[in-house]
Amino acid sequence: MKVLVIGNGGREHALAWKCARSPTAEEVLVAPGNAGTETEPGVRNVDISPTDIDALARLALDEGVGLTIVGPEAPLVAGIVDHFSGLGLPCFGPSAAAAQLEGSKAFTKDFLARHGIPTAGYRNFTDLDAALAYIRERGAPIVVKADGLAAGKGVVVAMNVAEAEAAATEMLSGARFGSAGTRIVVEDYLAGEEASFIVVTDGDTVLPLASSQDHKARDEGDTGPNTGGMGAYSPAPVVTPAVESAIVAQVIRPTLAGMRAEGANYTGFLYAGLMILPDGSPKVIEFNCRMGDPETQPILVRLRSDLVGICAATLNGTLARQSLDWDPRAALGVVMTAGGYPGDYARGSVIAGLEHADSDTQKVFHAGTARNGRDVVTAGGRVLCVTGLGESVERAAREAYAAAEKIGWEDVYYRRDIGHRAIARERRVAS
Ligand code: AMP
């Protein structure tokens, strides 16, 4: 079978790499891919934008693609699954109606409230004066979020009221995030440890992926501006078996039942971004309608099962017969970025050392890269995700950083403390 992966980031490189290792994948196409997918064995890039749904469908029809996996949220929110299904093309992911769980934070908060699913207290606003009055009444810390898609950057965790007021003002005036910010959610601050929990589902059967945790803040100690993600690891030690059971029972199952009851059966990857409170209870921070980037990279290097088989089973109604087999080792990915990201940054810097950085326990996934003649050059803010595997999160980190140190370009930047919370927890348990 031919498989089509849509997207061009590190997540899509990992998806394409994993699919290419499937016994049933004859070839993997990536639209549009990057310099990493271009040289991955069994993978071919096709230069079509992830949001050009008509051109993607034509490609799938022309090539006889048997399975399409959608990496990013934008085509899902725009209805790619509905469009492909209408043409008889198997496409793994939620419909546009189901993808609203990511497409609108206000929709999601109201949905969670309607179905009694645990989340932080909140209110939605389109009117600035009402938002400012609410912020002053609740006090800080408090969290201000743009309603629509803002590439993971539309959230301000304000430690004082002035900061929250400034964020609300900027978002509601449309100066930041354009129309994605014309409605905002203001919610209570939750203190705890974050974890990502992703499942594969056909709307009824739930197959949890290994737990993971990403680091959204740009700088060490989880400080600095929010980014798309600076690194991730799997498993997340905070997700003990008891916490996992609570997440499935209190969050995942009621969410799927609620979506079904509201006429939008949810199929695909469902990603719950959670805050695990000190007593182990989960609260939903957000949903994503696809896998996370960079969580996908460490998760997939641990997955031993055939991803193509799992996605195909989801679409043909046999998911209940599937199970997932995991490498017991931990994996950790370090995102190497262009200096300046998430603000302005340079493109076109030549990347050196890539050929020395892959081994049995190290894998370099490309994100914002492109080929320029014989060189691989930077072509985005997040450039690479260098992933290591080891007996513990600490050892996985050692592998990842040993590989990262072999790679360089002008103004490269990455955090040196990815996994710090999990590593501290491992050390506490060991002593
Ligand atoms: P989101 O885009 O909704 O996932 O938010 C981005 C990041 O902001 C999250 O990963 C958290 O670190 C933080 N965050 C969001 N909501 C809250 C909250 N209610 N309390 C504390 N931190 C939050």
Q: How far is ligand 1, taken at its centre, from the CA of residue 145, in Å?
A: 9
- Strand, helix or coil at 131? helix
Tell me which residue has its CA closest to atom 7 in ligand 1: 155
The pLDDT value recorded for residue 430 is 87
Please work out whether the CB of residue 165 comes within 6 Å of at least one atom of ligand 1.
no
Which of the residues in the chain have pLDDT under 70? 149-153, 174-181
Q: Which residues contact 85 (CB under 8 A, 6 or more apart)?
A: 91, 95
- Ligand 1 pocket, mutate which of 73, 122, 124, 155 (most atoms under 8 A from CB): 155
Q: Which residues contact 264 (CB under 8 A, 6 or more apart)?
A: 94, 95, 97, 98, 100
Other C-beta atoms closer than 10 Å to the C-beta of 20 total: 20
The pLDDT value recorded for residue 149 is 61
Please work out whether the CB of residue 195 comes within 6 Å of at least one atom of ligand 1.
no
Tell me which residue has its CA closest to atom 5 in ligand 1: 155
The pLDDT value recorded for residue 177 is 64
Cα R_g (the chain), whole angstroms: 21
Q: How far is ligand 1, taken at its centre, from the CA of residue 147, in Å?
A: 13
Q: Which residues contact 47 (CB under 8 A, 6 or more apart)?
A: 31, 32
Please work out whether the CB of residue 190 comes within 6 Å of at least one atom of ligand 1.
yes
DSSP label at residue 27 = E
The pLDDT value recorded for residue 226 is 86
Ligand 1 atom with minimal separation from the 191 CA: 21
Q: How far is ligand 1, taken at its centre, from the CA of residue 403, in Å?
A: 30
Please work out whether the CB of residue 36 comes within 6 Å of at least one atom of ligand 1.
no
- Strand, helix or coil at 287? strand
Q: How far is ligand 1, taken at its centre, from the CA of residue 123, in Å?
A: 15
Other C-beta atoms closer than 10 Å to the C-beta of 181 total: 23
The pLDDT value recorded for residue 180 is 58
Structure-block tokens of residue 42: 């069994």
Please work out whether the CB of residue 157 comes within 6 Å of at least one atom of ligand 1.
yes
Ligand 1 atom with minimal separation from the 152 CA: 2
Ligand 1 atom with minimal separation from the 154 CA: 2
- Ligand 1 pocket, mutate which of 102, 197, 285 (most atoms under 8 A from CB): 285
Q: Which residues contact 41 (CB under 8 A, 6 or more apart)?
A: 20
Ligand 1 atom with minimal separation from the 273 CA: 4
Please work out whether the CB of residue 189 comes within 6 Å of at least one atom of ligand 1.
yes
The pLDDT value recorded for residue 316 is 96
Q: How far apart are CA 398 and CA 390, in angstroms?
A: 8
3-state helix, strand, coil in the chain (%, to 5): 35, 30, 35
Please work out whether the CB of residue 75 comes within 6 Å of at least one atom of ligand 1.
no
Please work out whether the CB of residue 285 comes within 6 Å of at least one atom of ligand 1.
yes
